[in-house]
Chains A and B, each alone.
Chain A
């Protein structure tokens, strides 16, 4: 083993039914470093962490830990703790109704000679631990009296006190504010200086550059590379995560039209939803296709959901066609001519146990209201028309939608919205998991809709797709709208905008 290395994973592979979640992944953690594990959602970060902590059983590969001979295979988090790997998750897994000291020593309480719990000694020891780590708390107070950040630090202190060599922090900052994050970073640096190896999983790019020494990037379950932080500026990191090399990106030129003279379809001012998207302004003209760029989790879906009322906007105003509207739930937006194809097809798209016909007419029927039921003949006519138009491959219109392939399910939902004849359509990842042929058809459809004077808000992880169809792009980062690009749309400019920062 290389010197100073505390944990190495070599050639880790793991399959879930039908998916290769990890394919021959390597990972090396050194003593006294903060090592960021980066990748988009579904890249395999969580799966790798779970392999290290014994929650997942990996199939091939070996894990070595400093001071232990031979490969280590953990079968439970307890095994992992015994070899010195501790994990602190996004949600704090402690008991809020117990004191800080009790939480620190739960399950391993110091005992007196009479085998009762030695409260005095553990309160004293707890206070000492917290003082050493520079966390100012009264350890006899209940944990719930402290902020989430402190609770998180208590969880970390507990992990550290259990003599961990490897500390895994899985999205620890996602529910903390800036000041709390800074406190957490101070603690992390302190632990690093004490020689603990820290694996830091986050989707906030700023934080990676603020605190990490090294970055390992995963993509689609594969190892992309390991880089010292200085060698990987933001743009390159984004490129590595997305699988695009900036150098050989083909420039795509696109015809531009000036939409500023066109009437306004959507005008949002200061819309926001606490915890997901910060206040933003957005204007969309008739016939315009606007794309939202940003990494997964940057708030691009949330922005769209806020306009549509899927997550009710808590601040700001929205005008549709120049008329101010109040949208409390999706049906209000639909009545103003909107439609939204959500990104999570299974959870928010299909009604699995209903037929293709029922799924297609659902939104139109909802718009008409319960008492104006479409006749069976009308329903069948609409279903047939759209099955034909978007070419849904189904045995019949009475087939249950859950029996269709993912791509065809997506087309069913697209058909559902086309049937309502919307003026403004939000498409959130409409092409995910769809074959190439269908993808280009959906792109053509978007351009065609825009040609008919309809407006489209288009979200996709594939930048080329948006470059091909969008007139303008909105850039999101960390839940905030950070800019708009309306000319010279190119891979380079978009990725630079997504990455942000100086580099």
Chain B
């Protein structure tokens, strides 16, 4: 009982429980259809003609496909915590960064290339700089001009894709070069996006552990005025959160673009801002800002991907999937909502009281 209570008070308890529930659906479905119930967790090595020997399995697939949302969720968590608002431009910024990068790699006006016009590193740096510029733009609007985050980021939400198309001369630019495609493919047997995501998570965790950034951002998110009196530069910190959010959007954009070896302005990162916000919420973070739990957001990101993958495994068509996804999300969010938690607590208290009487 004691250990159970300890587990229950663990901040990641509910996000992880939600993820486990989604997995359980897979297992039950497999069992019901006569497939080995553990096939969900099975990871095997497969030989492919294109990528050589690679890891294969549904879990690997979820972690791989969930990379972009997980990367976005890192930046989104910081933005939500510092400014009690969301950055809804991240999906469009991903697309803009990808377009800029592909334009640089292919050369302006070139629609398809197999050779790189500039070294790959320059292309990647260009994408990241573009991400930082977008982040700085959002950050300035929110932190220095005190525009509501939703409105401020709405500008790039609607404009960034169009700017991307402009940069690509209205073309879908294909960069069919193996050194570029590698980012969205495999490093040895492991999908490269998983490694990139892991690096992002590790770097951010180290920064949060080794510097006071985490406490600063939370402090500003909880009470910006009091933080200022205590010597924090509230505006700079909010700006910084948006800047980092832009940077992570560019990294997610690089991954997404490399997967399809092209810059498809209209489709890269489409609706991913919503998934990123949802990840933060599923991770048990309050969208009202303040305290944050980065690990929760990451678990939330993979939960969303697990739901999508599960629905496809269950044979739900991709057109219908959002309906089921919505239902599952509602259930998870209700479970994590404070009034529901209170309700459960009262129920168990009432049961305990009854037990004493009996």
Contacts and interface: CB of A to CB of B under 8 A. Distances in A.
Nearest to A334: B231
Given A352-B222, A352-B223, A330 B213 contact: no
B210 interface: yes
A373 B216 CA distance: 11
A362 B215 contact: yes
Given A352-B223, A370-B216, A310 B211 contact: no
Nearest to B240: A370
A154 interface: no
B215 A340 contact: no
A324 B232 CA distance: 23
A366 B226 contact: no
Given A365-B212, A370-B212, A370-B216, A354 B222 contact: yes
A347 B225 contact: yes
Contacts of A416: 230
B123 interface: no
A367 interface: yes
B65 interface: no
Interface residues of B, number: 21
A358 interface: yes
Contacts of A358: 215, 219
Contacts of B226: 342, 347-351
Interface residues of A, number: 28
A449 interface: no
A362 B229 contact: no
B244 to A, nearest CB: 13
A369 B213 CA distance: 9
A366 B222 contact: no
A331 to B, nearest CB: 4
A368 B232 CA distance: 11
Contacts of B219: 351, 354, 358, 362
B291 interface: yes
A170 to B, nearest CB: 26
Interface in B208-259: 210-213, 215-216, 218-219, 222-223, 225-233
Contacts of A362: 215, 219, 227, 230-232
A435 B222 CA distance: 28
A330 B232 CA distance: 8
Interface string B81-112: 00000000000000000000000000000000
Contact of A331 (B225, B231, B290): B231
A281 interface: no
A93 interface: no
Q: Specify which of B213, B219, B231, B290 lies most central, judged by the most chain A CB atoms within 10 Å of its CB.
A: B231
B43 to A, nearest CB: 37
Contacts of A368: 212
A301 to B, nearest CB: 12
A367 B223 contact: no
Interface string A324-359: 000001110010000010100001111111100010
A16 interface: no
A458 B230 CA distance: 18
A363 interface: yes
A373 B210 contact: yes
Contact of B232 (A348, A352, A354, A366): A366
Q: What 10 A-B pairs have minimum CB-CB distances, sorted nearest first?
A: A366-B231, A331-B231, A373-B212, A363-B230, A334-B231, A353-B222, A362-B230, A348-B226, A351-B222, A351-B219
Given A342-B229, A354-B215, A371-B211, 12 more contacts: A340-B229, A347-B225, A348-B226, A350-B223, A351-B219, A351-B226, A351-B230, A352-B222, A354-B222, A354-B291, A362-B230, A363-B231
Interface of A: 310, 329-331, 334, 340, 342, 347-354, 358, 362-363, 365-371, 373-374, 416
Interface of B: 210-213, 215-216, 218-219, 222-223, 225-233, 290-291
19 contacts: A310-B228, A310-B229, A329-B228, A330-B228, A330-B229, A330-B230, A347-B223, A347-B225, A349-B229, A350-B223, A351-B230, A353-B222, A353-B291, A354-B219, A362-B215, A362-B227, A366-B230, A366-B231, A370-B216
